[in-house]
Amino acid sequence: MAKRDYYEVLGVERGASEAELKKAYRRLAMKHHPDRNPDDKASEDKFKEANEAYEVLSDAGKRAAYDQYGHAGVDPSMGGAAGAGFGGANFSDIFGDVFSDFFGGGRGGSRGGAQRGSDLRYTLELDLEEAVRGATVTIRVPTLVNCKVCEGSGAKKGTSPVTCTTCGGIGQVRMQQGFFSVQQTCPRCHGSGKMITDPCGSCHGHGRVEEHKTLSVKVPAGVDTGDRIRLSGEGEAGAMGGPAGDLYVVVNVREHAIFQRDGKHLYCEVPISFADAALGGELEVPTLDGRVKLRIPEGTQTGKLFRLRGKGVAPVRGGGAGDLMCRVAVETPVNLSRRQRELLDEFRQTLEGDSSHSPKASGWFEGVKRFFGDL
């Protein structure tokens, strides 16, 4: 059967643009798609015919050969340019590939042009004081920026990138076997649709160069580990004139010698003497705003928490400041003098046989007694 003219198949003028071809092909392919016309031989033939016509006309080289020599210029059986090995694949497999590529639309708009630059991440180490009060920090970030010599085009000054001859600027090439074809990213231009014949010497044709840039980051008061500060447009430069990505500064708060932080609350441990714990007294405890006095009542046990309201952290997302929790730890006295030993020994004798001074110990001995009694 004689082949119809490819332009006639797609219903376009001979001078049709790439966009017009694509539109016409898409319309026909949707209409005659075998999934929509099961067991309809006429539709299947029309579909294959449209596929073949578009495969040739969407390729600048094949289209030129077709315009000059007609079907003979592109028919693989006539020794033309078309046809890459694709033996034995089954119809529906290839079909799925063609369509997911062609109608999927999930390419992020990257085909044939501008690409947004990547987002970058920078880990910012802060002291607890900086995180709590806020700070302005200078950071140096390695990043790709547009090459100043070629203004990001990648082409030598005075030249510009030309349309890729392999894919005709589409960024995709079609592998063809008979009626079936599969699209893939053009191996020559890697999908950009453009070729640089005379690369810029400064960036070797990449259009972007690596540079360190210095940025001043305003860290708001109250940030915590894991918080992110987004610096819009400070990421990598885009390719082919695309917009720059963003820079995410991720906060990591260093461990503090005195305070542990849990959200908006701070914790610290305060050692107290055995005598202060027993008699009560006044302690000096550290806060982020300086020292404050803390009254300890008599009979304070080790491990007791004292809450200092509002001496924690004001969270970055708002809300009142948290509290500072001071955990007292009774310290056993060491390096005792003879006199101190005598006093303590005397003291110990006064305790003998009287459990009322040791609430914990008496409770504990009661428990032990019950435990052995139950055995």
Query: In the complex, which residues of this chain contact Zn ion (CB under 5 A)?
Result: 147, 149-150, 164, 166-167, 186, 188-189, 200, 202-203
Least separation, in Å, of the C-beta of 198 and Zn ion?
11
Which C-beta is closer to Zn ion: that of 205 or that of 235?
205
Nearer to Zn ion, 193 or 312 (CB): 193
Closest CA to 142 of 239, 242, 251, 234: 234
In angstroms, give the least distance from the CB of 92 to Zn ion. 28
Closest approach of Cβ 159 to Zn ion, in Å? Answer: 11
Alpha carbon distance 159, 96 (integer Å): 41
Can you spell out the DSSP letters for 138-167?
EEEEEEEEE-TTTTTS-BPTT---EE-TTT
Q: How far is the CB of 110 from Zn ion (least distance, A)?
A: 13
Residue that the structure tokens 């080790």 belong to: 302
Q: Specify the residue, 44 or 101, whose C-beta has the smaller distance to Zn ion.
A: 101
Cβ proximity to Zn ion, 209 vs 296, nearer residue: 209
d(CA 180, CA 348): 98
CB of 182 to Zn ion, least distance (A): 16
CB of 177 to Zn ion, least distance (A): 21
Q: Pick the closer one to Zn ion by CB: 12 or 147.
A: 147
Closest to 141 in 3D by CA, of 203, 207, 208, 215: 215
Q: Is 50 exposed, middle or buried (0-12, 13-18, 19+ CB in 10 A)?
A: buried
Nearer to Zn ion, 195 or 326 (CB): 195
Nearer to Zn ion, 36 or 204 (CB): 204
Q: How far apart are CA 162 and CA 176, in angstroms?
A: 25
**b/e code 347-369 from CB counts within 10 Å (16+ = b):** eeeeeeeeeeeeeeeeeeeeeee
Size of the chain in residues: 375
